């Protein structure tokens, strides 16, 4: 088996991001020992992760997404993948198997992408009017692969009141510490006259 992985020279590594399809997809060619295409190609080529990243975040498992099987062309012997992506940042190699044959890609790197997912790390807790929330909201900032994003992005928080009019005071916005991948709000309190459920967005 001969692997065609021109996308993964070091100069191409900067364009691969967690959760997004690889911009140049791998192709695998199946040949006999003489370099000719076998007359009968009856199996699928299967892609797997063979070299997982060493710098995993939060114990997450590196995973490959998309259609992990491809049919070899009967004329060229090439099996082309179209939508493979990987979730976690780090250095990878992929392995490809066809029946009893196997081949491995060149190493390539997945980088952290832009913010695509927000998730609560700490949900705001019940509180009395005008008193700071005992548990202040804390939000993680992740790319499509589940990697915490870098930089110092800002978040804005808004209240959806339940019954009656209420206002959120003390914490309209906050920003992430450098490369922390999360935003912690401080001093949030709710002013109002009618108790009931409220939602922060």
Specify the pTM. 0.79
Condensed to tens digits (0 to 9), the pLDDT of residues 1-30 reads 454 433 333 334 557 899 999 988 888 888
Q: Could you tell me where the beta strands, DSSP code E, fall in the chain?
A: 2-4, 27-29, 45-51, 64-65, 69-70, 78-80, 85-86, 90-98, 101-104, 108-110, 117-122, 138-142, 154-156, 159-160, 166-169, 173-175, 182-184, 189-192, 199-200
Asked whether the CA dihedral 155, 160, 165, 166 is positive or negative, the reply is negative
| Residue 193: band (very low, low, confident or very high) from pLDDT cuts 50, 70, 90 | low
Tokens of 53: 């990243």
Mean pLDDT of 167-184: 82
Give every CB contact of residue 14 below 8 A, 6+ residues apart in sequence: 109, 111
Band (pLDDT 50/70/90 cuts) for residue 35 is confident
Percent of the chain with pLDDT over 70: 85
**For the chain, how many helices (H) and strands (E)?**
0, 19
Cα–Cα distance for residue pair 3/78, rounded to 1 Å: 9
Which pLDDT score, from 0 to 100, does residue 83 have? 93
CA distance 148 to 178: 12
DSSP assignment of 74-94 equals TTT-EEE----EE-S-EEEEE
User: Residue 190 has what pLDDT?
Assistant: 83
CA–CA separation, 69 vs 46, rounded Å? Answer: 5
Nearest-angstrom CA–CA distance, 93 and 7: 12
Query: CA of 177: how far to CAs of 34, 64, 181, in Å?
Result: 58, 30, 8
Q: What is the pLDDT of residue 5?
A: 36
- Comparing 31-35, 63-67, 69-73, 148-152, the range with the smallest average pLDDT is 31-35
Q: Do 132 and 116 meet the contact criterion of CB atoms below 8 Å apart? A: no
Vertex 122 angle, CA 192 and 86, to 5° = 135
Q: How far apart are CA 16 and CA 39, in angstroms?
A: 36
């Amino acid at each position: 088996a001969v692997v065609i992985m021109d996308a993964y020279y070091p100069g191409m590594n900067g364009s691969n991001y967690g959760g997004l399809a690889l911009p140049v997809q791998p192709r695998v060619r199946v040949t006999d020992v003489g370099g000719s295409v076998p007359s009968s190609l009856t199996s699928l080529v299967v892609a797997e992760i063979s070299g997982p990243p060493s710098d995993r975040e939060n114990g997450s498992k590196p995973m490959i997404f998309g259609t992990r099987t491809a049919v070899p062309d009967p004329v060229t012997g090439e099996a082309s993948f179209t939508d493979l992506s990987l979730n976690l940042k780090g250095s990878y190699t992929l392995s490809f198997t066809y029946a009893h044959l196997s081949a491995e890609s060149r190493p390539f790197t997945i980088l952290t992408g832009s913010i695509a997912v927000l998730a609560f790390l700490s949900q705001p807790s019940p509180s009395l009017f005008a008193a700071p929330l005992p548990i202040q909201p804390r939000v993680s900032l992740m790319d499509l692969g589940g990697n915490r994003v870098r930089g110092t992005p800002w978040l804005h928080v808004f209240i959806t009141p339940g019954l009656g009019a209420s206002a959120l005071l003390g914490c309209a916005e906050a920003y992430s510490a450098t490369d922390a991948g999360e935003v912690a709000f401080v001093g949030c309190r709710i002013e109002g006259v009618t108790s009931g459920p409220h939602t922060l967005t």
